[in-house]
Amino acid sequence: MKVIPAINCKDFDCVSDKLLKSAEFSDWVQIDVSDGKFSEAVTWDNPKEIFSFMGELGLALKVEAHLMVEDAFGESLRWLAAGAKRVIVQAEADFDIEDLTRSCAEYGAELMLSISPKTDIGDKSNLLPAFNEFQILSVSPGFAGQKFDGNSLAKIKSLRELFPNAIIEVDGGVNAETAEQAKSAGADIITSASYIFENENPKEAFQRLASI
């Protein structure tokens, strides 16, 4: 299974430490960006700093930016211009899908739609067809270390039925048990923060998930 380490940090010392660890076993990382408005959490948010750091050290990591912010379009532009290969916007945020799709195409980046636990897929039926990549949030937006919401499995199954060829990622509360459940429900990608980085051996934790 495809596994992406998720980096949820309040300062760049934390970000840089987890980037270095991720580069030992992964080709992708997810950067969680929370503005304190869309959710209560506030995280580090300086895309130029991360790509400058990776360039100086020659870290060959692709970055997806999970934007839990009110200004989804403006924040997407910042991350795309810095070098993000995928931006993930919340279905609950305000944005113009045509502008966002065009900007991602101009930068050669992927666009993914994230759906929060409290959001019903049916309520976003007009928006869904504009995407072929989805993220199901199995925790409330913003904070790391939350418990996996089992209701997310039904959402994954529903999305897989609606869009058989879509890429589906699940994010939040992922461990070996919930990763297996997500895969069975139809997920292609899992992201993990606490399970990987709070393990004494992050590489082993990552490989355990990848083997599911």
The catalytic residues are 32, 171
Q: By CB neighbour count within 10 A (0-12 exposed, 13-18 middle, 19+ buried), where does 165 fall?
A: exposed
Q: What secondary structure does DSSP assign to 84-121, as a single string?
A: -SEEEEETTSB--HHHHHHHHHHHT-EEEEEE-TTS-G
Amino acid (1-letter code) at residue 25 = F
196-to-6, 18, 64, 78, 208 alpha-carbon distances in Å: 9, 10, 17, 28, 10
Residues 6+ apart with CB under 8 A from 201: none
